[in-house]
Chains A and B, each alone.
Chain A
Amino acid sequence: QKEVEQNSGPLSVPEGAIASLNCTYSDRGSQSFFWYRQYSGKSPELIMFIYSNGDKEDGRFTAQLNKASQYVSLLIRDSQPSDSATYLCAVYPMFSGGYNKLIFGAGTRLAVHP
């Protein structure tokens, strides 16, 4: 089992819709969760982080964390073509000694079509 799993996609949504990106992780003791956006040919950009169960909103983005289900998601409201990118889920697992190195999922490619 991979430590951080994401559906590779592509996830195709129409402009203006809600895009829902999902991620599961294997280390139950994980404490910190991050979402990065990576445009083709560019480096990842941190867009959200969440540490507590529940929802965290920032503009059009909402991160959701459910530690009991070992599940973290990212919702993008009013999706725009400029949101088309690969979204990487990243987790700090406890087994690595706590806050050591992020474990990345392989990423989900999002395509927002006009």
Chain B
Amino acid sequence: GAVVSQHPSRVICKSGTSVKIECRSLDFQATTMFWYRQFPKQSLMLMATSNEGSKATYEQGVEKDKFLINHASLTLSTLTVTSAHPEDSSFYICSARGGLAGAKQSYNEQFFGPGTRLTVL
């Protein structure tokens, strides 16, 4: 399948600081990227959907001013957790969908990055 990278893989920060997580599609153009959060032993929770060049669509209950998403290009989306607090500690995972005709994946398939484990002290 297609390759999606995330950086950093792990981050520890102090309460009140902001953390930026990058998500890149390495071998295809991602027209749509998704950001998920997963707490231990719980299901994936979709936070927002972002399309290149437009504003992200946030799921109900997700604060858009706290979780800033930018999808500036077809290969890069960023999630910034602003003024992080201990309750924001979680596993953040991006996924990407999209491709050109003849690419090794079709438009429907969604590929996940390896995730970023955030710990807020």
Mark A residues whose CB is within 8 Å of B.
32, 34, 36, 41-46, 49, 51, 88, 90, 92, 99-102, 104, 106-107
Contacts and interface: CB of A to CB of B under 8 A. Distances in A.
Given A101-B46, A106-B43, A44 B34 contact: no
Given A32-B108, A46-B110, A104-B43, 9 more contacts: A42-B115, A43-B115, A44-B112, A45-B1, A46-B111, A46-B112, A92-B108, A104-B44, A107-B43
Given A32-B108, A92-B108, A43 B93 contact: yes
Interface in B62-91: 91
For the complex of A and B, 9 pairs with smallest distance between CB atoms: A43-B115, A43-B112, A106-B43, A43-B93, A44-B112, A32-B108, A104-B44, A43-B114, A46-B1
A99 B107 contact: yes
Contact of A34 (B43, B46, B93, B109): B109
A43 B113 CA distance: 7
Nearest to B2: A46
Interface in B96-114: 107-114
A42 B116 CA distance: 10
B25 interface: no
B107 A45 contact: no
A32 B108 CA distance: 8
6 contacts: A43-B112, A46-B110, A101-B49, A102-B34, A106-B43, A107-B43
Contact of B110 (A41, A51, A102): A102
A45 B115 CA distance: 11
B26 to A, nearest CB: 15
Contact of A100 (B1, B43, B44, B49): B49
A18 B8 CA distance: 38
Contacts of B109: 34, 46, 49
Contacts of A101: 34, 46, 49
